[in-house]
A and B are shown apart, each in its own frame.
Chain A
Amino acid sequence: MQLQYFLLLAAALFCIGIYGLITSRNAVRVLMSIEIMLNAVNLNLMAFSNYLDPQTIKGQIFTIFVITIAAAEAAVGLAIVLAIYRNRDTVDMEQFNLLKW
């Protein structure tokens, strides 16, 4: 096992997350894509802390922070989605284009 494979996997996961972030029409799936990207970041942090910093494992501390903040962010995100849904009765991202030119 090498560091590069972890990094490549994390990068692939990040790209999948970005693809989902940009193309999803459902707002919840957008949030899910963001979670995938955050997990890719976490994978990176873990890999780096394992291979480059096995003594002080700062990366793992970072990962814990990221997970907690991701949870909070997902909560706020879902709350926003719910608030929009209450007003507009839909979670279709293509309907949320009021703030254009």
Chain B
Amino acid sequence: MAHLLLQSVWLIPCYSLLGAALSALWFPGITRRTGPRPAGYVNAIMTFLSFVHAAIALTATWNQPARQILIPWLQVAGLDLTIPIEISSLTVGVIVVVTGLNLLAQIFAIGYMEMDWGWGRLYSLMAVFEAGMTALALCNSLFFSYIILEILTLGTYLIVGIWFNQSLVVTGARDAFLTKRIGDLFLLMGVIALLPITGTWNFSELAEWAKTAEVDQGVITLIGLALIAGPMGKCAQFPLHLWLDEAMEGPVPASILRNSVVVATGAWVLVKLEPVLSLSPVVLSTMMVIGSISAIGGSLIALAQIDIKRAFSYLVTAYMGIVFIAISAQQTEAALLIVLTHALSMALMMMSSGAVVWNSITQDVTQLGGLWARRPVSGLALVVATLGLIALPPFGSFWSMLKLADGLQESGHPWLVGVLLIVNALTAFGLTRVFSLVFGGKPKQMSERSPEVHWPMALPMIILSAFTLHLPLILQALSLLPDWASLNKDMALLLTWSSLFGCGLSAAIYLGNYIQKPVQFPIKALQDLVAYDFYTPKLYRNTVVLGVAIISQLTSWIDKYLVDGVVNLFGLATLFSGQSLKYSTSGQSQFYALTILIGVTVLGVFLCWSSLSHMVLVMTASLSHQQFLG
């Protein structure tokens, strides 16, 4: 049974696609009477089926070697585009996580989207995301990974733009699509440039090739930079990070999925490409710098946000930055572990924020407060998510961060450990700040009557809290935790202290009464700088957007006036000549007689030209002869 399910694990993306297709039946234009709820139920059932399938397959694949399935797609002269599918415990495990989180997000959406008629679209898009991510996990080819990433980019555009009658949603969806698309296009350049060098797009064969590759440093550096540009956009890394902030305009269930797993698709491709990227030290150091900037920048910006969803979305940028650091230090195992622990905690965090927003309407943390007594489930979920995200033993992220810090120290990047500690402290500070503002203090006007959410939202929150809490046990069962003897205790203490320091300081500031709220930073400009995301929208508008706008206006002008003008000039000249030459038809028959005469004369002169000139010659000769004689 389990073996059969393992063999057919490639069917999992098809379940979700079937669900996506079926939800179209409940679009408001098709099912006009009975409402869109069955779309949600069908998709949840499909996701549940995939989850069960993957979970059973995972038991069968445990301690088994990875196997490949080849699905022929297209074979044209000299190019063999066969889809390689890798079935290993890692890929099936990823599918379990993705389908599990999607199942919880879909159940959450049943509660959250209760007052909405757009279930058909939302659920079909969530199913498309699930299909894309499971296919990405299975697919072992850079080319097909790129295809899936592009489809997911389109999916992001559609899912952010669900409520398209809001203007901010439209601009947010636009930015999300274009920003990710730019990254993807660079990735495409890298993908295409890689083929002539390696002759393959298969990740395993790429890794084999990279072991013995001897290529020009310049070439592989450029290709590597292009290859990281795609995941940079996907993972919302600086400077392609604005889209994630604006994507928070979409519905919360979609944000749960996006913040936990969708942004990790870029990291997944990077992990797979790590052997190729490590051929060039320039690429690795670029990734290191981008990751560090994103990690510190993201966690700093998150401190100054007053929108609860945005305060969490910048942490996604920060943690994906840490994943970048991990991959650049060739700690792929630590990177995958961070992706896993971050996914669970971040999904829980988004659920908690969604639950708060659903009943308290406002997303502004300065207008919320004092929810702890009345919202125990949401509050506990946020606490658990915080514990799971920051490096605090014995929770999940502590072990992944410890593994990374260990690896960083061993591979000779001690300053990156410093970055890790700073980011951890800042994240701890930011999360405690949000918790204190929302759940601590006195109730404010918007949160005075705030009941706990109903079961479809509470249930996935509780289940995910339990998973987050049990993650260390699961990791231990999978023997992914270091044993006590080999534990780097100094590092563990440093990480723990940084978390405690961040949490403690934040709690003291926001729960204590020593500082006046809202907190004013001594330097107002600095507070504004991080609150407005380093003015990234202005930066975009004044560089890339401005440049493209000027060039497109210029080319439009050239097209309108120069190219069109030249062609129109011919038409105008013809018109003008017709208009002016018609006056040759003067209406005077005598004038016609004159033109006939002129025509005949000219023709006669032309025909007789040779004899005429000859005659002139003879006449002049005879004249001069006569003069000579005379």
Contacts and interface: CB of A to CB of B under 8 A. Distances in A.
B64 interface: no
Contacts of B594: 22
Given A30-B590, A93-B589, 14 more contacts: A21-B590, A22-B593, A22-B597, A23-B590, A93-B588, A93-B590, A94-B588, A96-B587, A96-B588, A98-B587, A99-B587, A100-B586, A101-B582, A101-B587
Contacts of B589: 93, 96
Contacts of B587: 96-101
Interface in B581-628: 582-583, 585-590, 593-594, 597
A97 B586 CA distance: 7
Nearest to A101: B582
In the complex, the 6 A-B pairs of residues with the closest C-beta atoms, listed nearest first: A100-B587, A97-B587, A101-B582, A101-B585, A99-B587, A22-B594
A27 to B, nearest CB: 10
Interface residues of B, number: 11
Interface string B551-595: 000000000000000000000000000000011011111100110
Interface string A18-54: 1001111000001000000000000000000000000
Interface of A: 18, 21-24, 30, 93-94, 96-101
A26 to B, nearest CB: 11
A30 B583 CA distance: 24
Contacts of A99: 587
Interface-central residue, A96, A98, A101, by most chain B CB under 10 Å: A101
B583 A101 contact: yes
Nearest to A18: B597
Contacts of A100: 585-588
Contacts of B585: 100-101
5 contacts: A21-B593, A93-B590, A96-B587, A97-B587, A97-B588
Contacts of A94: 588
B590 A22 contact: yes
Nearest to B586: A100
A22 to B, nearest CB: 5
A58 to B, nearest CB: 25
B578 to A, nearest CB: 10
Interface-central residue, A18, A30, A99, A100, by most chain B CB under 10 Å: A100
B615 to A, nearest CB: 14
A34 to B, nearest CB: 10
A93 B587 CA distance: 10
B576 to A, nearest CB: 14
Contacts of B583: 101
Contacts of A22: 590, 593-594, 597
Contacts of A93: 588-590
B434 to A, nearest CB: 84
Contacts of A18: 593, 597
Contacts of A30: 590
A66 B586 CA distance: 31
A94 B589 CA distance: 9
B184 to A, nearest CB: 63
A21 B587 CA distance: 16
Nearest to A97: B587
Nearest to A96: B589
A30 B582 CA distance: 26
A15 to B, nearest CB: 10
Nearest to A21: B593
A34 B189 CA distance: 85
B85 to A, nearest CB: 79
B585 to A, nearest CB: 5
A33 to B, nearest CB: 10
A88 B619 CA distance: 54
A98 B586 CA distance: 9
Contacts of A101: 582-583, 585, 587
A89 B416 CA distance: 111
Nearest to B582: A101
Contacts of A98: 587
Nearest to A100: B587
Interface in B174-230: none
A30 B594 CA distance: 13
Contacts of A96: 587-589
A24 B591 CA distance: 11
A22 B587 CA distance: 14
Contacts of A23: 590
A21 B589 CA distance: 10
B598 to A, nearest CB: 10
A66 to B, nearest CB: 19
Contacts of A97: 586-588
Nearest to B590: A22
Interface in B275-311: none
A100 B581 CA distance: 12
A73 to B, nearest CB: 15
Nearest to B594: A22
